[in-house]
């Protein structure tokens, strides 16, 4: 499908493992000695990075008995954090083969490949049987998915009754044209940003019950100040989002910051449960 190809092409890198290995070396470490925390600056590709992941996943009440689905897992950073912090088993799925293959390598590096599996696939049509997962989460994924109704129905299907889903996406908050490129899209053609009301409506229509919501704009602006201060978006640190975004990293981050500051979009959390 042209839409899926455009999204994968936007994120594909080609030499991700080599680039991350080089950054690890600059930290004075090797694949045998690097930790989940060391990798966090590059493998948690969403506003707030590790800080956002921790506060977000804490709301899902994860336990060692849970099998968790990481939707749009990317390099699997949140999957590795969840497996290490909460002791759960995690399955990740992502459209970009480049990310999945690199993520598998990183799981081997930190010794979590026995409890994490990463699959290439479409989140709106997963290969998993109904009721497979106890919990599910997605971090900055829906901005590339047009059919959010199909996505919500699929996530409802694969969760067991009583299961909880967390969504942390960039959502449309106000009028005005977005500035591109941004981290999730080179141009308007790949961007499928929707409002919290649209997310809420599609999740409820699928059968979910909303239990919590939060606008994370202020948190995001604080994070952006830190990001600019340490140069993590532009390449001054060995491991950072510049590895994923390439030469246009500063422009993408700058446009994203402007879009949030000017009220067009905001990172937003929605937590739902399957009755």
Residue 50 structure tokens: 């590790």
Residue 121 phi/psi, 5-degree rounding, is: 180, 175
28-32, 104-108, 128-132, 247-251, range with the lowest pLDDT? 247-251
Q: How many CB atoms lie within 10 A of CB 9?
A: 11
Q: What does the pLDDT read at residue 246?
A: 84
CATH of the domain at 136: 3.40.50.150
Q: What pTM does this model have?
A: 0.93
Task: Look at residue 211 and tell me whether its pLDDT is greater than 70.
Answer: yes
Q: pLDDT exceeding 90 applies to what percent of the chain?
A: 80
Task: Look at residue 12 and tell me whether its pLDDT is greater than 70.
Answer: no
- State how far the Cα of 268 lies from the Cα of 193, in Å rounded to an integer: 12
- State how far the Cα of 83 lies from the Cα of 63, in Å rounded to an integer: 10
Domain count along the chain: 1
If you average pLDDT over every residue of the chain, what do you get?
Answer: 92
Task: Look at residue 240 and tell me whether its pLDDT is greater than 90.
Answer: no
- Which candidate, 215, 183, 212, places its Cα nearest to that of 272? 212
12-21, 52-61, 111-120, 197-206, range with the lowest pLDDT? 12-21
Over residues 49-66, the mean pLDDT reads 96
Residue 223 phi/psi, 5-degree rounding, is: -65, -40
- State how far the Cα of 132 lies from the Cα of 99, in Å rounded to an integer: 23
| 1 vs 212, residue with greater confidence | 212
Q: What does the pLDDT read at residue 231?
A: 53
Residue 91 phi/psi, 5-degree rounding, is: -115, 130
Q: Which domain holds residue 185?
A: 2-273
Over residues 247-275, the mean pLDDT reads 94
| 182 vs 235, residue with greater confidence | 182
| 49 vs 151, residue with greater confidence | 151
| 188 vs 150, residue with greater confidence | 150
Task: Look at residue 234 and tell me whether its pLDDT is greater than 50.
Answer: no
- Place 264 in a pLDDT band, splitting at 50, 70 and 90: very high
Q: What does the pLDDT read at residue 247?
A: 84
Q: What are the CA-CA distances from residue 253 to residues 34, 103, 187, 226 (Å)?
A: 27, 23, 14, 12
**DSSP per residue over 85-131, as a string?**
HH--EEEEEES-HHHHHHHHHHHHHTT-TTTEEEEE--TTS-SPPTT
Q: What are the CA-CA distances from residue 68 to residues 2, 57, 162, 164 (Å)?
A: 30, 11, 13, 10
Over residues 192-199, the mean pLDDT reads 98
- Which candidate, 1, 8, 17, places its Cα nearest to that of 97? 8
- Sequence-separated (6 or more) residues with CB below 8 Å from residue 79: 68, 70, 73, 90, 92, 103, 107, 116, 118
pLDDT digits (tens, 9 = 90+) for 38-56: 999 999 989 999 999 999 9
The pairing of strands 209-215 and 89-94 is unpaired
- Place 236 in a pLDDT band, splitting at 50, 70 and 90: low
- Sequence-separated (6 or more) residues with CB below 8 Å from residue 224: 253, 257, 260
- Place 232 in a pLDDT band, splitting at 50, 70 and 90: very low
Residue 102 structure tokens: 């690199």
Q: Is 177 exposed, middle or buried (0-12, 13-18, 19+ CB in 10 A)?
A: exposed
Residue 124 structure tokens: 């709106």
Q: What does the pLDDT read at residue 151?
A: 98
Over residues 95-102, the mean pLDDT reads 94
Over residues 103-113, the mean pLDDT reads 98
């Amino acid at each position: 499908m042209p839409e899926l190809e455009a999204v994968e092409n936007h994120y594909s890198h080609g030499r991700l493992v080599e680039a991350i290995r080089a950054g690890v070396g600059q930290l004075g470490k090797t694949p045998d000695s690097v930790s989940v925390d060391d990798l966090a600056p590059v493998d948690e590709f969403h506003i707030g990075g590790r800080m956002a992941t921790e506060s977000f996943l804490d709301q899902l009440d994860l336990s060692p008995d849970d099998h968790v689905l990481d939707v749009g897992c990317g390099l699997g950073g949140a999957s590795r954090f969840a497996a290490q912090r909460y002791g759960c088993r995690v399955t990740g799925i992502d459209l970009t083969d480049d990310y999945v293959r690199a993520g598998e390598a990183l799981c081997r590096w930190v010794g979590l490949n026995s409890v994490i599996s990463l699959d290439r696939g479409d989140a709106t049509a997963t290969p998993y049987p109904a009721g497979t997962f106890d919990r599910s989460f997605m971090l900055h994924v829906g901005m590339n998915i047009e059919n959010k109704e199909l996505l919500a129905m699929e996530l409802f299907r694969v969760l067991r009754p009583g299961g909880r889903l967390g969504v942390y996406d960039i959502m449309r908050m106000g009028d005005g044209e977005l500035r591109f490129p941004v981290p999730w899209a080179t141009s308007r053609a790949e961007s499928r940003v929707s409002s919290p009301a649209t997310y809420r409506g599609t999740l409820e229509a699928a059968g979910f019950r909303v239990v919590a919501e939060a606008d994370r704009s202020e948190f995001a602006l604080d994070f952006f100040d830190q990001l600019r201060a340490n140069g993590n978006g532009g390449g001054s640190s060995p491991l950072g989002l510049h590895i994923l975004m390439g030469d246009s990293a500063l422009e993408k981050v700058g446009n994203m910051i402007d879009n949030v500051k000017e009220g067009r979009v905001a990172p937003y959390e929605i937590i739902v449960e399957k009755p």
